[in-house]
Amino acid sequence: MNEPSTRSSLAFVYASYAARYLYLFILIPFYGRVLGPTEYGKVLSAMSLFGVVWLLTNYGFAVVGTRAVASATDTSSISAEFGRHFKARLLMCAIGIAVGLGGTALSPVLRSDPAFGIIATALGLVSTFNLGWYFQGRGRYRTSVLLEVAGFAISLAMILSLVRTNRDGLLVLIALLVSGTLTTVASYLIALPSLDRGAIKLKGGLSLIRESTAVFAASGIGVVTTNASIFVLSLFATAQHVGFFGAADRIANLGISLMTPANQVLVGTVSRRLAIGSGQDDAFVLMRKSLVAMLAFGLAAMAVSVVFAPWAVPMVMGAEFGPSVVLVQVLGVVFPFAAFNQAARMYVLIPLRHDAAVARVSIIGALITWVAIGFFVTPWGGMGVVIAKIVGELTVTLATVIIMLRDRELRSIFSRGNHGRRQGSVGVDT
């Protein structure tokens, strides 16, 4: 099977993701103007809980699965991996249910209307079985993206037709749950005919959980920390203040999410090139270009957020969201660090299987972020969470740079021709 060029795959994925950004550009102003800060705060608290449930139950499986499928050479191996993933996700659903129900009970914002938390938990469990990792591992980027675009179209149509007043926040979550369920079922109907049914066994779930622990620690813990920030704020603040911070966080995340499509292409592409002896130098070239491009993107996004926030936030969200402006500007500082960290983690360290080293860095960054939130959230509310995010990302950046400078293999990525690369070192991480 000929691998599509990285450039054409990236071009298609980013072009297709235009639908995602259009979706967000329509809905974020819609939520702000129709729901208002208080009801939007409830929706955002529920969506934050959904994100935590999803990330915990996914537990790094997506990265491990993409890497395994991309490296597999026969359908039987891919099918066995498929069955192993299904079993592992079933096992992790117990944790997801406990976290979702517990989070609903803990948050005053969600406890006042528990249906928000219950539907958010269900949405997280459905999303756990998303097959994006499988399609990306097989190089079927178009299938993965088109399914996601279909989901956006379904939920957008439902939200715009059903949500009418500042009491309709629950309908937003219901629309997302329906859309997620339909597209997940469709993905299995598409995937199963291309698999060896006899090789799909619901076993190996515990071994996959063990294998994914380092990857989850490396990439998942930091993302859980980021997604949990709105939920954590809901423990201490009113729904209205959650709405102000959440609006700023959503706008900032639009910039960060622009990096997501690259993950779909580059993780699998780098892993496939590393699996072929003749493609290892090409993989290193791709790593270098990705690091430079992502860092440049982060700096540009920071400049845009600082300069345009005073004009863009009131225009997008409405005059009620004036307190969100300064939060967006300060959140812009996160962009360069987040961009570099993602590129180093997803396109360099994890494909080279330095999972344990990245896990240590991510755990340290997450712990420092949580400590900073503990110090800053009570006196400063949403701004305290913003400062904690900056501290955490800066910590991860500094630690990652130290790792890359101290390791000879990683230093050789930046040497023309990679002559200093240690043969046989891929896949070994002490």
Does residue 426 belong to any structural domain of this protein?
no
Both tokens assigned to 331: 């959140």
**Per-chain mean pLDDT for the chain:** 85
Distances (CA, A) of 285 to 260, 308, 409: 20, 35, 14
**How far, in Å, CA of 60 to CA of 122, rounded?**
19
pLDDT tens figures, 282-329: 778 888 888 888 899 899 999 999 999 999 899 888 889 999 999 999
**How far, in Å, CA of 292 to CA of 282, rounded?**
16
**How far, in Å, CA of 288 to CA of 292, rounded?**
6
Range of the domain at 328: 6-418
Closest to 134 measured CA to CA, from 126, 125, 143? 143
How many structural domains does the chain have?
1
pLDDT tens figures, 98-146: 999 999 999 999 999 999 999 999 999 999 999 989 998 888 877 887 8
* Residue 280 and residue 273 in contact, taking contact as beta carbons nearer than 8 Å: yes
Q: What is the pTM of this model?
A: 0.75
pLDDT (0 to 100) of residue 287: 83
Does residue 149 belong to any structural domain of this protein?
yes
Q: Provide CB contacts within 8 A for 404, sequence distance 6+.
A: 344, 348, 410, 411, 413
* Residue 403 and residue 361 in contact, taking contact as beta carbons nearer than 8 Å: yes
Does residue 427 belong to any structural domain of this protein?
no
Q: What number of H helices and E strands is found in the chain?
A: 19, 0
Whether the pLDDT of residue 78 is over 70: the answer is yes
pLDDT (0 to 100) of residue 426: 41
Does residue 423 belong to any structural domain of this protein?
no
Closest to 65 measured CA to CA, from 52, 93, 84? 84
**How far, in Å, CA of 163 to CA of 119, rounded?**
16
Does residue 429 belong to any structural domain of this protein?
no
More confident residue, 414 or 157: 157
More confident residue, 419 or 380: 380
pLDDT tens figures, 226-252: 778 899 999 998 899 999 999 998 888
**How far, in Å, CA of 13 to CA of 257, rounded?**
13
Does residue 410 belong to any structural domain of this protein?
yes
**How far, in Å, CA of 389 to CA of 376, rounded?**
11
**How far, in Å, CA of 183 to CA of 71, rounded?**
26
Whether the pLDDT of residue 11 is over 70: the answer is no
Largest CA distance in the chain: 63
Over range 61-69, report the average pLDDT.
88
Distances (CA, A) of 161 to 39, 172, 226, 382: 18, 11, 31, 32
**How far, in Å, CA of 33 to CA of 321, rounded?**
10
Does residue 187 belong to any structural domain of this protein?
yes
* CB-count burial class (<10 Å; 0-12, 13-18, 19+) for 68: buried
